[in-house]
Structure formats: structure tokens, C-alpha cells
Structure 1
């Protein structure tokens, strides 16, 4: 190994890579958490050290010079090596104190995780939880999260997945909607009812049609990519929606439809990176969530959610 040839500062190389990928000094400074002058000095220092120009200005934007283009793949390789080093080091950490990021859908993050996080924190007060609420699949290989709750099995060899259980989902509607539009008694009745969607309409309709529910795009009167928004529409009486039973049971202002028909079923996977599986605190959180989600958790209703008996008036 020629150690004399390895002399330039990684921070300067990282500043160059971020600028090349983000397209400007200001954008690169934001993603790296630096000031723009600091980032500019780091790029200039790398240029001075290598004796080349890496960027040229074209109008208001930056363009890589031919040498900058040649250098880019090498610096990307360095970044990947640094990422793997960080990942391996995190995986070997034996302290249970520190941050663990959990990725989950917006609905699961809002309705199911808070109670579990409270229980986990009482057991392990040194663990700090960050929740990434997103309906998109987080990239665990790029450290967007440490642990993910998913409904699809990952197919990458770097990821470890455990099938926790099958979750159930059913049709739900608010009493207001049922009072105004009537209660559907069979799946065939759904053809004349309004639906609220919060996934791609085509995917939702295809799944419902294959399940014997004769609805079309005309039935979907409103939808939202945000599950919490769509669920609130259902609770406000705009239409009928499909919801995980674990979540809907925590909402006393909706009623389950078709109680005699089996619910829709879908898997719940718990996923982490194989390197992080050796981290003590991540392993603690992973095992805790696996155990907590094995069975539907009993609903803890607030006092305001419980029905009250009215005392008859004296005559």
C-alpha cells in the first residue's frame, strides 16, 4: 500500500460528491449540515490539492469538468466504503443506549407504535426512538431507518426479515354515513356506495374486484395518499373505507361492516439490515416489536371513548 498517495481529506471529497449529486453548493451544504462558505472552501481545497478544476459555472448552475466526471465514480466508491464501515461499526455496538429509527406506515406510526414505544421506553430508558412515518419503503441499506415494519417481504440478501403474523382488515363506516346511505348487507351492495381510498385506485379496485366486491372508479369519491387523512374522511362520514382491524378497533366512532365475512389478510414483516442485527440496542427493539406484534393488542379505550349509561329521569 502506497500510504503517501492517500493524503487528501475525506471531508473535502464528501463535499465534492454532495455538490455533484445535488447540483449546487447551497443544496449540498443543506444535506451535509454545513454553511455554504464552508462547503465551498472544502471543494476548493480538494481542487487545490489535486491541482485540477472540478466544476465550472454554466449560467446559475454548476457543471462537472471532464476530470470531475472521471473522479466522481471513485469518490462514490469511497462513500460506499465509508457507509459500510459505519454500518459495520453500528452493528457491533454493544451499548443499549442510543437512537433507533423505526420506519412504518403513517397509520401504524400514529395508532399502534406510540403505545409500544412508551412500553419500550419504560423497560429501556436509554433507548431513544425516532419514527419515520412513510408509506414508501425506506432504504435500510442506506440507513434511512434501522428497523422497518412492512407488508411486503424484502428480496435483498443484505436484509433480514421476520414474518410476524397476518394482519386483518375490514370495511368500516361511520354511523353518520350509515344513517344517510344505509348499511350494505352483501359485497354486491357495495356497488351503490361511496368509497374512500388511500392507495393507488387501480391497485385498490383490482384487489376488491378479485375479492368479489363489484366497485369501479366511480365509487371512489375521495382519496388521499396520506392514510391518516383518508381515515379521517371515513370517520367524518364521507364514505366506506378499508382499515386494519387493529387500528379501527381503537376508533369507537366507526362500525365494522360484514361481520360474518372473513376479513382481508396481509402479512406483517419486521426487517433490519444484517449488520445491524448484531447491535444490542437494535436487537432489543427488533425483538420487542416482534413479540409485541405477534398477537393483536387489547384496545385500551380512554374514559371518553366508553359509552355511558344515562340515569332515567324521575317521574
Structure 2
């Protein structure tokens, strides 16, 4: 367990040199990275989404690409193309930005559904298909997609089936007063991101990604996870509940969180910590045309407060 705790501490400490006061968000992103999930960051501009992603890639010593999604972006702009090299008289493959280890899909809801689908296929299958040729993506492969929840003009909102592909939906949020003073002091003379060093090796990444699933989950905890997910399918305020993918993701997330906390077993607090970011974007709330984050999160919190825990049942 020491390797997981060390992994978490080094990552949080290093990223926190750039991002001020958002330790829980950083921790949730690290859990997603460990279990090979992907993150949707939903926030207004200027809160540090891009810096968060760059700081993560530098910390993990991973290759990084940022893709600005626009309505005229094509799937081939992501995956790459085959072009004819007149010098060698052969077709050669020119890699697209998606063939990187850490990818920032900036303002994903500004691209057309066709381009969104190309990205989400890479996330789900771990491969790209270009002109009939399948190219495996390397490991690690981690996507952080962003979208502005306020501005809807000229956007193509992600449908529920595509939202379900994201492991977590997170929000960085505005800083506290003291945190904003620290941001001014930290950035007044230099850009901390430029001096950020890599502190985690590929071997460490491979170890945590291969071994997090050995964390023990008791039968009572398994039943509680299933009870929470099934409660979304019968809730009076929910039109469409969570699928079994949510069940599996909540299980994996709890294993990853328990590991970086130094435990070889999952506890109730792990579930309560991750239920909202893993489940809220997977439900459709009744009479909510905008499918706003706040309403869906409140419904999941209500379910957490009403579903009996194993302790209560016993």
C-alpha cells in the first residue's frame, strides 16, 4: 500500500504547486487516472482546467496534446491521416493529437457529434481506425474533456450515451478568498508550470494501474453499491437511471481511492466520496430540460441519505 500512498502524495504535492487549494479534485483525477477512466471537467473559463491537465501530464512524465474543439474539426484531425510521400513513393501515417498519453479535449461540446464520437471511440476502445487500419493507443491513455456549462450558443451538447463514457464529471470551482491571494502571489513573478518537474515514473504508473483492482470489497459493500445504483432507476425525480457501467465504475473508483488512502479494503466513506462525481452525470432528472449538474447531484445526494447502509441494516 505504501506505493499507492507515495504515488498519491507525490502527484498531489506536485500538481498543487500550480493549482491552489483543490486537493480533493486533484485526488479524484488521480483516482480516474489510476483506474484508466476519463474525466469531464465542467466549469466556466479561467478556473485552471488547462493548467490542471498540463500539470498532471508533467507530473506523470507523459506526452501531452491539447485539442481545441470547434464546429469545423474533423475526426481525422484527431486520429491522423495517411498521406502520399512523393520522396519515398509510399503512403505514410501522420499521427493525430489523440495518439498521446494525456489529451485535453477543450470545449468538447463545440465540435459536431461526428467528431465527438471519434474521440469517445478512442476512449472506450483504446484504439483508432484510420482508412481501415487499426492503431492501438499506448498506455497510459488519459482524456480530460472540458465544457462550459453556461454558454450554450453554437454548441452540441453531449448525449447521455456519450456522457456515460466519462468515468467522472468534476468541477474545479472558484477559489476561496485566501486561495485567490495565494494565486496572485504564486503567479506574480513567474509561471509555476514552466518549472514543474516530473516526479512519477512509467514503472510507478504501470504498477498502480495493474494492482488497484486487488483491493478487497466485502459483500456488504458490493450490495450497498448495487442498492445505490438501482435506487436511481426507481427514484421519483429521475427519468433515466444509471446503467451497470456506473456500478462497475463506482466499484473501481472506490478501489482506487482506498488504495491511495493506504487501505487494502473499501469502506463506506469511499462510496460516499465518489458517488456524486461518478453517478450524477449518468442520470436524467425529470422536468430538467437543461439536465443541469446541480439538480442531478442533489438527487444523488438524496439517494445517499435515504438508502440504508450495511451498518443500518445490521
Give the structure-2-normalised TM-score.
0.21
Give the structure with higher Rg (CA).
1
Structure with higher strand content: 1
